[in-house]
Structure 1
């Protein structure tokens, strides 16, 4: 079947490429025509080549705008926020307003009566003030943005159903589980996609015959112009929903998604549907499941409103967002959809408790924590100094860090400051941060400011097949998350992977991380106060000079990881679907 799929795709590839290019061109042209400034900002975020061109273009800007745009393009977020604080007040330019929002400071824009109405509307939306955002567009020539925001508000409002009808027949005597995912390997490498792939493999091994489809337009909308209609990875099929043109509104795109998911279901005949947060996925899957007469499951992997708050850069912005209309609607919407599902899966006790507090019946929620492939427990970890040679790093030094998405709430700035303090105290501790994300440029700047040239390496994203070798190069893996709502609720994947690999591990003392590592690791000293660079520096120095402490952490981690294999986790899925008659 897999070879036949590849042959069909190869024959159709030229036509597929034409369709992908048409979709990308239409999307780009619409964005460029509606708001050239925002389009340039977003282009620079996604494509490094465009970033370099816009850095050169920044030289033609004047005054504060030139300094602001230049700092933002170089990734110097602290400098950007400093310039914004110095120049905030009435009279922000359109460019400055867009940069302020990209830097997580929408409160500087929304209350400025001289700012462009479209910029103010976007800032209000970013703060969760949905009705205000729509009202700011009254009388402004931005009809599509008004339609988009109205559709978004409707979709996040409890009780709203997708206006979609299915002309086909219900599924009869189906087999297997059809998943709807936001994104996937090989086009996106993240904790979300790695967990998704592990879940699919585990369900396959448990006899649930999973198949996946990703959101409409993906991966073309993130630059994957060479995307095929199907990718097959480790025997798991990922189907793509790639229309020639994407609908111009969120509800229109969800109808396209529902059409594609229902068409795939008609071809493969599943016995159940499954999706993951956030609510747009669940909106689609509920409609398709009801039309096909199938049960469906919702896997809650995070809290959308908390992730959104984590992207705001000031206490004022976070407080406004937390008390906003959008915050309340999203929390209620997620709870409504979870309660409507036939089964709910989530990752940790804290997340289950949050759902129960919002009205989801506890007996319908199954815990499916992050797991690992049992084969990893049998793998012999090389000496970190030897592994460093293999990736082009020096053998000497005591290297600490992580393989992760590089975003603000991961706390890698705290880690760099801890490394600098430890080095100032005479310890040859060095940092290695593998991965990419919005915070990486600022971390590169911080490393230079701290005098860590040569002692802090940020290689960016590495090939999936090389990730284990880079992780092996670390003497200690550190998960230094800062204390935010999202980090107090959501459990990441990387601690369990590090423990399975036999790497000594340190994590911030936050509930999901403590739950992930377990009491044995806590007793071995695996937790440090979040945000405390001094405490982290002291603990790293202690571990660096005490080999038995490293061995204790590695051994306790292996024992904990052995309790969390995907084989044991998969039985939870098997049992839950068995109760649904699958």
Structure 2
């Protein structure tokens, strides 16, 4: 049985798009007969752990103990060394055949060091470029020294990896533009564990009453993290315009994050602040209750390198839930949906365009069933983890065959 060690920034029991993707990957690989474990770096945080390793939902996660410090650059180098040592210590008792690291580059750097010392293949998967994510969450500046150093580190790790995956074509194209061989880079798109999504539940009447949403009310929803690049401020600004045509429309925001105080203030300043409902962060196993109240899921991401290059997960989950999706016309969304067929696109950074699109969607309910069915079919054929995870297995087999032949770290044509 092939053993695969996934090297992660953080994992369950923390909840994020990152951890849910990780869970889906590991569960799908288990179903294919692989023996998988995860190991997290120092940024996962010891305060979230009651044991090392942890068994969560039938998945085993190991932790890197301790802490490091130092000036910028030195601190990160020490983190990679600590992670590498932790991987090598684990490998003495649980011998992995493949080390599969997931971005950011700190995970890749630590995993590369360890895989080189252990003499086993190293796979690196990029979910977003670390430097662009820092700009998106307002902890970095595009074009700064740190931005360029982070980008250079990522490129170096990609060159050293035996195989590379990205979550979308935009990231792959960017790496190719840096001079990385196209045959080395496969695409593993964001996906959905369809075993978690059956028939959508009926409207949760009790929850509707608790939130003050009467039956028949047009509900626009956003479920996700509260980061600036998500553009929910534009969605809030669109509500007075939307309510000119649909006076009863409400906006339901489910989630939390750094932008919550600013977005609450923006909603409070509206002429009709009751149009916006903040539900807060909810447990993952209760999210379906909120989906049941929502007519249209809106994802108004602002235009940036991050949103043009990276595909989000939530629109796919909404399609799997047979919900209508309206999203800003940025590159990441265009990879997931086709306007008028599986969802609806509107100009980014433009509350007027957002309001006009949402009004048009609400006015064309007779088309919704067909859009829903095409959306579900799209997820089943392109974004089902039970099928897509086989691509990993194909690459692992190629790498291990090279090792067994004594070819070393041979060039790989990864499936795109």
> What TM-score comes out, normalization by structure 2 length?
0.89
- Over 3 Å counting, the alpha-carbon distance change for 1:388 and 1:418 in structure 2 is farther
Q: Distance in 1 between matches of 2:30 and 2:174?
A: 30
Whole-Å separation in 2 of the counterparts to 1:470 and 1:455: 16
In 2 relative to 1, CA 342–180 (structure 1 residues): closer, same or farther, beyond 3 Å?
A: same
Q: Deviations over 1:498-524 (max 9, x none)?
A: 10111111111112211112x3x5446
Task: Determine if contact 2:201/2:289 at 8 Å carries over to the other structure.
Answer: no
Q: Which has the higher helix share?
A: 1
1: CA distance, partners of 2:166 / 2:130: 14
Aligned: 1:464 with 2:290: no
Q: Deviations over 1:542-570 (max 9, x none)?
A: 22233213323322211111111001111
Structure 2 match to 1:334 = 154
Q: Structure 1 CA distance, aligned partners of 2:43 and 2:349?
A: 39
Equivalent residues, number:
395
- Counterpart of 1:395 in structure 2 is 214
1:261 aligns with: 87
* Unaligned ranges ≥5, structure 2: 402-416
Q: Is the 8 A contact 1:213 1:239 kept in 2?
A: yes
Question: Using CA pairs below 8 Å that are at least 6 residues apart, which structure has the higher relative contact order?
Answer: 2
| Structure 2 residue 367 is matched with structure 1 residue 367 | no
Paired residues of 2:226 and 2:256 also in contact (CA < 8 A): yes
The counterpart of 2:77, out of the listed 221, 239, 251, is 251
Deviates more, 1:420-429 or 1:207-216: 420-429
Note if 1:577 corresponds to 2:400: no
Hey, what's the Cα distance between the residues in 1 that align with 2:354 and 2:297? 12
Structure 2 contact 11–44 (Cα < 8 Å) conserved:
no
Judge conservation of contact 1:505–1:557 (CA < 8 Å) in 2. no
1:236 aligns with 2:56: no
Cα contact 2:326–2:344 (8 A) shared by 1: yes
- Counterparts in 2 of 1:300 and 1:198: CA distance versus 1, 3 Å: same
2:357 is matched with: 539
Does structure 1 residue 551 correspond to structure 2 residue 377? no
Deviations 1:148-197 (A, max 9, x none): xxxxxxxxxxxxxxxxxxxxxxxxxx8310011001111x2111111111
TM-score, structure 1 as length reference? 0.64
Q: Would the aligned equivalents of 1:504 and 1:551 in 2 still touch at CA under 8 Å?
A: no
1:352-393 Cα deviation digits (max 9, x unpaired): 00011112211011110011123355x221344647438644
Q: Does 1:560 align with 2:378?
A: yes
2:9 alignment partner, one of 153, 173, 182: 182
Query: For 2:92 and 2:272, how far apart are their aligned partners in 1?
Result: 57
Q: RMSD over aligned Cα, in angstroms?
A: 2.2
2: CA distance between counterparts of 1:445 and 1:251? 40
CA distance in 1, matches of 2:148, 2:83: 26
Instruction: Tell me, in whole angstroms, the C-alpha distance in 2 between the residues paired with 1:457 and 1:351.
Output: 35
**How far did residue 323 of structure 1 move?**
3.3
Aligned to 2:40: 214
**Aligned equivalents of 2:210 and 2:396: distance in 1?**
43
Q: Which runs of 5+ in 1 are unaligned?
A: 1-173
Bigger strand share: 2
Q: 1:484 aligns with which of 269, 293, 304?
A: 304
Distance 1:569 1:287 in 2: 28
**1:89-122: CA deviations, max 9, x gaps?**
xxxxxxxxxxxxxxxxxxxxxxxxxxxxxxxxxx
1:520-544 deviation digits (Å, cap 9, x = unpaired): x544651111122112212222222
Equivalent position of 1:72 in the other structure: none
In the alignment, the residues of structure 2 paired with residue 442 and residue 190 of structure 1 have an alpha-carbon distance, to the nearest angstrom, of 21
Q: Give yes or no for contact 1:176–1:271 (8 Å, CA) kept in 2.
A: yes
- For residues 320-370 of structure 1, give each alpha carbon's deviation from its aligned partner in whole angstroms, at most 9, with x where no partner exists: x43333322222221111121011011111110001111221101111001
Listed as ranges, the matches of 1:296-375 within 5 Å are 296-312=122-138, 321-375=141-195
**Paired position in structure 2 for 1:193:** 19
Which aligned pairs between 1:98-247 and structure 2 lie closer than 5 A?
Answer: 175-186=2-13, 188-216=14-42, 218-220=44-46, 223-224=47-48, 227-243=50-66, 246=68
Tell me the distance in 1 between the aligned counterparts of 2:334 and 2:194. 22
Give, in whole Å, the separation in 1 of the partners of 2:325 and 2:99. Answer: 37
Q: 3-state SS of the aligned residue for 1:372?
A: coil
Residues 540 and 427 of structure 1, relative CA distance in 2, 3 Å threshold: farther
User: Residues 387 and 416 (structure 1 numbering): CA distance in 2 closer, same or farther, change over 3 Å?
Assistant: farther
Aligned to 1:162: none
